[in-house]
């Protein structure tokens, strides 16, 4: 064994009242709220960009594509308010025309929310949705595990619930599709209680699933990352990119956040990461077992977001919305994702849950071909000749490790729910997974940032007067 000096490890040091890990919407909103109250903040971000699960990238021809989260809905009050405050321009998702349904090898078109080629199936689905909505309204958002039926609901998967409550195979398929679309996971992965919590958190199932009137209603002209970019711009050098945090130390005197490039000393820490990633940091002292075991139990969903760019949105000429739902192939959900001016056509598809998990085993060529095969099946031969094909796998992203969000398998809410937001000493937890309203969405991230900022202002005994 020889001893050599491999690195003179000169790290920058910096001080702030509050150090924030992660410059997604949650971390940036917390920074904004705290800065507005006169608290000094510093946000450390591992990537060379802000925005977390929102990420807007130009294609080769300059078309802006959201490869991450991209929509907001009318009941997402925090996002709507924030977007208005920041003066960010939005537009409505293209939703004019008929939708495509592909089932059992056949293609149909239909209007409205639920495919109606088989009225019996539609009836079964409607009944299931109404039942789930009613059950969901009995889940307390702050403490889902205190619902009167929580023990029963958290002991079973959503697959078990479908099995026991939905008989028509076509209706089962549609419900599975809905779960995949909302969670990028399978019905068997999810606790029934978590599904019900999530429904209530959004207001109802149609709020989650809908375009006009729902969570997919509104887009950003310059892309969804614009929100994070604007927040970061206002924070200026309080946001430090390329600083991968690996260690958080706290003691009676304060806290230190140690990244590859910078050591931040502070009085309070906000970890604004998905729980599974928060669990990968090194804490001194080590975290309590309950908190640590929570982070072992909230896996991220699995999705490839795939997009094809065309000279124009040709499906609009055929009076189609660009929305398809399918029981076959890699892509089972599509949307019209063209830029607001219609200067290009963009078809967006999601490869979710099990399909997303196996998709990465194929070669890039095979993946592209599989996506085009689906798009052609839903929208005709023109869909087979895109100008460009863009895919984004969030499970591969080292600093996200899955989308859309972390979810609860059976039993986790019941035994670990109380550890989700509870601060540990100087450390506070943010991120959309900690939200009570629109959990898993941008709006939930904003709520979590506001909540954690309020927690810290209370802890620091600062009473903001200019903002509520």
Quote the least distance from Cβ 81 to a second copy, whole Å.
33
The 333-362 site mask, x for binding a second copy (CB under 8 A), equals ---------------------x--xx-xx-
Of residues 131 through 190, those in contact with a second copy by CB under 8 A are 154-157, 159-160, 163, 185-189
Measured from the CB atom, the residue of 82 and 412 that comes closer to a second copy is 412
Stated as kind and residue range, the H or E segment containing 169 is helix 169-183
Q: Is 111 exposed, middle or buried (0-12, 13-18, 19+ CB in 10 A)?
A: exposed
Would you count residue 4 as binding a second copy (CB under 8 A)? Answer: yes
The answer to whether the peptide bond before residue 404 is cis (omega within 30 degrees of 0) is yes
* Structural contact between residues 42 and 12, judged by C-beta atoms closer than 8 angstroms: no
Stated as kind and residue range, the H or E segment containing 32 is helix 25-36
CA 9 vs CA 13, 43, 261: distances in Å: 12, 21, 9
Would you count residue 241 as binding a second copy (CB under 8 A)? Answer: no
Would you count residue 242 as binding a second copy (CB under 8 A)? Answer: no
Residue from 410, 417, 444, 449 touching a second copy (CB under 8 A): that is 410
Would you count residue 2 as binding a second copy (CB under 8 A)? Answer: yes
CA angle centred on 417, ends 415 and 421, rounded to 5°: 145
Quote the least distance from Cβ 356 to a second copy, whole Å.
9
Measured from the CB atom, the residue of 157 and 448 that comes closer to a second copy is 157
The tokens for 399 are 């600093």
The per-residue DSSP string of 218-286 comes to EEETT-THHHHHHHHHHHGGGEE-S--EEEEEEETTEEEEEESSEEEEESEEEE-S-HHHHTTSEEESP
Quote the least distance from Cβ 411 to a second copy, whole Å.
4
Burial 130-168 (b: 16+ CB within 10 A, else e): eebbebbeebeeeebbebeebeebbebbbbebbeeebeb
Quote the least distance from Cβ 277 to a second copy, whole Å.
9
d(CA 94, CA 92): 6
Would you count residue 1 as binding a second copy (CB under 8 A)? Answer: yes
Query: DSSP secondary-structure letter at 47?
Result: S
Of residues 374 through 393, those in contact with a second copy by CB under 8 A are 393
Measured from the CB atom, the residue of 22 and 339 that comes closer to a second copy is 22
The 272-311 site mask, x for binding a second copy (CB under 8 A), equals ----x--xx-x---x-xxx-xx--xxxxx-x---------
Would you count residue 265 as binding a second copy (CB under 8 A)? Answer: no
The residue ranges that bind a second copy (CB under 8 A) are: 1-14, 154-157, 159-160, 163, 185-189, 246, 263, 276, 279-280, 282, 286, 288-290, 292-293, 296-300, 302, 354, 357-358, 360-361, 393, 395-396, 398, 401-402, 409-411, 414-416
């Amino acid at each position: 064994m020889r001893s050599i000096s491999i690195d003179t490890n000169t790290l920058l040091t910096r001080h702030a009242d509050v150090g924030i890990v992660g410059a997604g919407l949650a971390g940036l909103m917390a920074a904004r709220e705290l800065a507005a109250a006169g608290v000094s903040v510093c946000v450390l971000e591992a990537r060379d960009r802000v925005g977390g699960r929102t990420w807007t990238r130009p294609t080769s021809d300059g078309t802006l594509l959201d490869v991450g989260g991209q929509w907001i809905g009318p009941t997402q009050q925090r996002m709507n308010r924030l977007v208005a405050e920041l003066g960010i321009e939005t537009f409505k998702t293209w939703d004019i025309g008929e939708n495509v349904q592909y089932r059992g090898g056949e293609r149909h078109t239909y209007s409205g929310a639920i495919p109606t080629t088989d009225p019996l199936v539609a009836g079964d689905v409607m009944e299931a949705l109404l039942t789930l909505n009613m059950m969901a309204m009995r889940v307390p958002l702050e403490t889902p595990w205190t619902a009167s039926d929580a023990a029963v609901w958290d002991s079973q998967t959503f697959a078990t619930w479908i099995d026991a409550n939905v008989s028509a195979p076509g209706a089962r398929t549609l419900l599975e599709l809905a779960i995949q679309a909302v969670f990028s996971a399978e019905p068997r992965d999810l606790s029934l209680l978590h599904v019900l919590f999530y429904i209530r958190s959004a207001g109802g199932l149609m709020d989650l699933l809908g375009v006009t009137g729902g969570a997919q209603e509104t887009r950003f002209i310059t892309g969804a990352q614009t929100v994070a970019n604007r927040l970061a711009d206002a924070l200026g050098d309080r946001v430090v990119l390329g600083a991968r945090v690996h260690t958080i130390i706290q003691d009676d005197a304060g806290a230190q956040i140690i990244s590859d490039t910078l050591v931040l000393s502070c009085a309070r820490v906000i970890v604004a990461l998905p729980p599974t990633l928060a669990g990968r940091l090194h804490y001194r002292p080590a975290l309590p077992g309950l908190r640590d075991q929570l982070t072992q139990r909230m896996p991220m969903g699995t999705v490839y977001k795939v997009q094809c760019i065309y000279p124009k949105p040709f499906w609009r000429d055929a009076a189609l919305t660009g929305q398809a739902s399918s029981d076959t192939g890699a892509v089972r959900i599509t949307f019209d994702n063209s830029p607001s001016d219609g200067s290009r056509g963009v078809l967006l598809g999601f490869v979710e849950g099990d399909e997303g998990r196996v998709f990465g085993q194929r070669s890039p060529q095979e993946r592209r071909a599989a996506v085009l095969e689906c798009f052609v099946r839903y929208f005709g031969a023109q869909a087979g000749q895109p100008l460009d094909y863009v895919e984004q796998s969030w499970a591969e992203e080292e600093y996200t490790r899955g989308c859309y969000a972390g979810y609860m398998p059976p039993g986790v809410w019941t035994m670990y729910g109380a550890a989700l937001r509870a601060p540990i000493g100087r450390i506070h937890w943010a991120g959309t997974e900690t939200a009570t309203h629109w959990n898993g969405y941008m709006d939930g991230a904003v709520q979590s940032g506001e909540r954690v900022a309020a927690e810290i202002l209370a802890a620091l005994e600062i009473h903001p007067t200019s903002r509520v």
